[in-house]
Amino acid sequence: MPHSNNQRAKLKEQLRRIALDEGFSPVAFASPQKPPQGEFLTKWLKNGSHGDMEWMAKNQEKRQDPNLLMPGLGSIMVLGLNYRPQGNHSPYLNDPAALGVSAYARNVEYQGFIKKKLKKLAQQIEKLLGRRIDGRIFVDTAPVLEKPIAASAGLGWQGKNSLLVNRNYGCWLFLAEFFLELDLPPDPPSKEHCGTCNRCQKACPTNALNTPWQLDAKECLAYFTIESSAPIPHKHRKAMGNRVFGCDDCLTICPWNRFTPQSSETIFNPRPILKAPKLLEFAFLDDAKFRTTFSKSAIKRTGRIKFMRNLAIALGNWGNIAALPALKHLFNDENPLIRGHAAWGLGQIPSEHAIDLLKKAEKNEEDQTVLEEICIALR
């Protein structure tokens, strides 16, 4: 390991160049110190802003101190990968019959793809040094405060939408960390450039960004449609519109995303079935077909039950009589969470047949939560 400051700085730039050559976008280095915003995690958790994501409350000390994740940690290499896909990122907002899916989930899961790139990077670093090195790689799979660490390394700043914002890539960065034994000089943190802009706060359909720079997950549509296994709160169902998986409103509205380049990684472009998807194309998927359709995607990991729960809400918000067969099918599903949300969806359709279906089911339904949804729909 080089000892002089000049040698350490030279090695850091060599590592940065190797990472850029491997396809990472911005690359920066952070010290192994506790990230400066780490103390806000305790308050955020105490306020219950994490909803029922109990895993966020676990390993709190490790999240706040990266040294607990790797003894002998010398520096943290923070890497961003531009994932901005081709074309319109939220085409569904102008078509209530379309299936709304967050841009990051319209192709393969990114974690595995990025880990492969990181392993190649590790091999190149060891080749440069001529020896094996101690290190750990993380891609959204460990108790790491990714955004605060990235901000402390100068990779960007946390915007009022709580996302990391980079001057060149906006909010379109997947983040990864390479914990290294190497003692390398950190890069300076970048300044915050949101200024008086609050477009992301205004764009949020459920006011989950009422407090700038902080996301209240239990009010966020991305949280409800992806993370939560509970019924969608009635107060947010209309706001969901046709968003079936995630919500990109606070991301795409950010002015820093206006002129960002498209990703050079074609793997992040939408798979054919998700280029212009319609709600009616997906309502009749059984579990096997669902797994095949969304193979290697974040949607598959979330599972069919949540997906169909969300789809029932979207079909109801569409409100078109053409949604009736799909909602009827979901209303007969064996899972009560899906049946209950399908009942709500049927209640949004202007059809006597929908009312008849609800009244008939009211006499035979045994699940209390579904019965409650039927009663609300009939009212």
Q: Which of the 8 DSSP states describes residue 140?
A: S
Choice among 95, 140, 183, 367 that is catalytic: 140
Residue 104 to residue 356: CA distance in whole angstroms: 40
Q: Report the sign of the C-alpha dihedral through residues 204, 250, 223, 146, in that order.
A: negative
* Residue 265 burial (CB count, 10 A): 20
Q: Which two tokens stand for residue 62?
A: 């490790």
Please confirm, yes or no, whether 140 is among the known catalytic residues: yes
Residue ranges of alpha helices (H) inside the chain are: 5-21, 40-46, 60-64, 110-129, 146-152, 199-203, 221-222, 234-240, 249-252, 287-293, 298-302, 304-318, 324-331, 336-347, 352-364, 368-378
CB 16 within 8 A of CB 59: no
CB 138 within 8 A of CB 150: no
Q: Report the sign of the C-alpha dihedral through residues 187, 32, 167, 174, in that order.
A: positive
Active site residues: 140
